Amino acid sequence: MDMLRLLFNAITVVFIAATMFAAGLGATLPALRAIFAGPLSPLLALLANLVVIPLLGWGVAALFGLPAAAFIAMVLTASSPGGPFGAKLAMVQKGDVVAGAATQVLLAAVGSVTFGLTANAILTAAGVGAGISLDVAALVRTVAVLQLVPFAIGLITRHYAPATARSWHPAAARVSNVTFLIVLVGMLAGNWRDVVALIGSRTLLAGFVLAGAAFAIGTVLATGSPARRTTMGGVAAVRNAGPALAAAGIAFGDEPAVLGALAAVLLSGLAAALPIAAILSRRRAGDTT
């Protein structure tokens, strides 16, 4: 079992790095400058992901009357922006991949600092859990190594060796696609007992509602073309599992109830976001024919 877990963790690392490397290979410095030229777009993304969606997670958890473990999982998930699946959803929906990847990296970097403070404040205000204390420096290092560095390497390659970047991009995208499927299967296989145990409860539905509402909020609180706006919606819908899992281990001692609820919320969130991205992809494919 330990060997399988190590293998799954290794594949997850490859998926995150390959996704961000592929996004960097497909980006250009002028495109990035255009995205961040005005402060409105990044500020709206920060507002949606660092303020509105954490409060939404609190509200959904309270609305559904979730038990303590599921309530904690919802708050941890909602407070953790910048999941690498966001860049993947931009690819799936044929959206603005450069804007999605750049925004996702920004959110992951800022969110690694704000996550502990946000989750602790909400859990304290709600009177749930014992509060959390996270190693912020470790979270920042994790984000830098797995997300910022591969994206930067891909971007530099595209800038200084564009022909090489174009030739590498298909292979990097294939690795991202294959490992994405493996990670999805692994999450289901590794946590199926916990997820099955929650069938019939309100936790799966709450996670589904949170992701769908986050997609809508991210789309509304965005600027630019429809493709860019829905890309921001996908980035908002998919939260960053890393800090949430770290909190479950550090603050709650890997309590099985919290881990099971966390897996259920993350998987139900993907179940909400992926069909939306697939529908958008089909519509855009039809528009180009």
Instruction: Concatenate the DSSP letters of all residues of 235-266 into one string.
Output: HHHS--HHHHHHHHHHTTTT-HHHHHHHHHHH
Buried b / exposed e across 181-190, counting CB within 10 Å, b at 16+? Answer: ebbeebbeee
- What mean pLDDT is predicted for residues 175-188? 79
> Whose CA is closest to 25, among 171, 143, 227, 146?
171
Instruction: Give the pLDDT score at 195.
Output: 67
Token pair belonging to 221? 């609180």
Percentage with pLDDT > 70 across the chain: 91
Instruction: Say if residues 183 and 10 touch (Cβ distance below 8 Å).
Output: no
Instruction: Say if residues 233 and 219 touch (Cβ distance below 8 Å).
Output: yes
The per-residue pLDDT for range 201-254, each reduced to its tens digit, is 789 899 999 999 999 999 999 998 999 999 999 999 999 887 887 777 777 766
Instruction: Give the pLDDT score at 230.
Output: 96
Instruction: Give the pLDDT score at 194.
Output: 67
> Whose CA is closest to 106, among 165, 52, 39?
39
Torsion, Cα 136 142 148 149, to 10 degrees, reads: 140
Instruction: Say if residues 225 and 287 touch (Cβ distance below 8 Å).
Output: no
User: How many CB atoms are closer than 10 A to CB 209?
Assistant: 18
pTM: 0.82
**Domains annotated on the chain, with CATH:** 2-287 (1.20.1530.20)
Q: Which residue has the higher pLDDT, 289 or 61?
A: 61
